[in-house]
Amino acid sequence: MISIRKVNKNFGKLSALKNVDLDLSMSRSYALVGPNGSGKTTLIKSILGLVIPSSGEITFANKSIASDWKYRESIGYMPQIGRYPENMTIGQLIDMMKNIRKNATELDDSLIEAFKLYKIYDKRMHALSGGTRQKVSAALAFLFHPPVLILDEPTAGLDPISVEILKEKILEERNRGKLLIISSHILSDLDELTTEMIYIFEGKVQYNNTIQALKEETQEKKLGKAIATMIGQKQLMDSINK
Amino acid sequence: MTRVIKYVFYDILRTRFILLYTILLLVSTFALFQLDSDSGKVVMSLLNIVLMVVPLVSIVFTTIHFYNSYEFIELMLAQPVNRKVVFIGEYLAVTFSLCMAFAVGIGLPMVFYGISASGLALLFNGMVLTMVFVSLAFLAAVLTRDKAKAIGIALLFWFYFSLIYDGFLLWFVYSFSDYPLEKLTLTLIALNPVDLARVIMLLQLDISALMGYTGAFYREFFGSSFGILFSTFILFLWVTIPFLISLRIFSKKDL
Helix (H) or strand (E) holding A150: strand A148-152
What is the structure's pLDDT at B185? Answer: 82
Chains A and B form CB pairs within 8 A to the count of 57
The structure's pTM equals 0.89
**Which chain A residues in 130-189 lie under 8 Å from chain B, judged by CB atoms?**
none
Strands A2-11, A14-24: parallel, antiparallel or unpaired by DSSP?
A: antiparallel
- Read off the DSSP letter of residue A168: H
Q: Is the pLDDT of residue B213 over 80?
A: no
Residue B227 in this model has a pLDDT that exceeds 80: no
Per cent of chain A over pLDDT 70 is 100
pLDDT on residue A115:
93
Write the pLDDT tens digit of every residue in B144-154: 989 999 999 99
Taking an 8 Å cut-off on Cβ atoms, the answer to whether B255 and A51 are in contact is yes
CA trace torsion B67, B159, B185, B46 (10° rounding):
90
Q: Give Cβ neighbours of residue B204 (< 8 Å, ≥ 6 apart).
A: B117, B118, B121, B122
- Contact residues, A window 69-108, toward B, CB-based 8 Å cutoff: 69-73, 75, 77, 79, 83-87, 96-97, 99-101, 103
d(CA B133, CA B60): 9
Tens-place pLDDT, residues A10-32: 988 889 999 999 999 998 999 99
Q: What is the pLDDT of residue B214?
A: 65
- Which of the four pLDDT bands, split at 50, 70 and 90, describes residue A60? very high
User: What are A210-233's pLDDT values in tens digits?
Assistant: 988 988 888 888 888 888 888 888
Nearest by CB to A72, from B11, B70, B78: name it: B78
Chain A residue with Cα closest to B80: A72
Rounded mean pLDDT, A39-46: 92
Which domains does chain A carry?
2-211 (3.40.50.300)
Cβ <8 Å between B79 and A101: yes
Distance, C-alpha B4 to centroid of its chain: 24
Q: Strand, helix or coil at B181?
A: coil
ipTM, 2 dp: 0.86
The mean pLDDT of B189-205, rounded to a whole number, is: 85
Determine the residue of chain B that is closest to A101 in CA distance.
Answer: B80
- How confident is residue B255, by pLDDT bands cut at 50, 70 and 90? confident
Cβ(A149)–Cβ(A76) below 8 Å: yes
Mean pLDDT of B180-207: 83
pLDDT by residue (tens digit) across B37-84? 788 888 888 888 889 999 999 999 999 999 988 888 988 999 999 999
- Name which of B71, B81, B252 is nearest A83 (Cβ-Cβ): B71
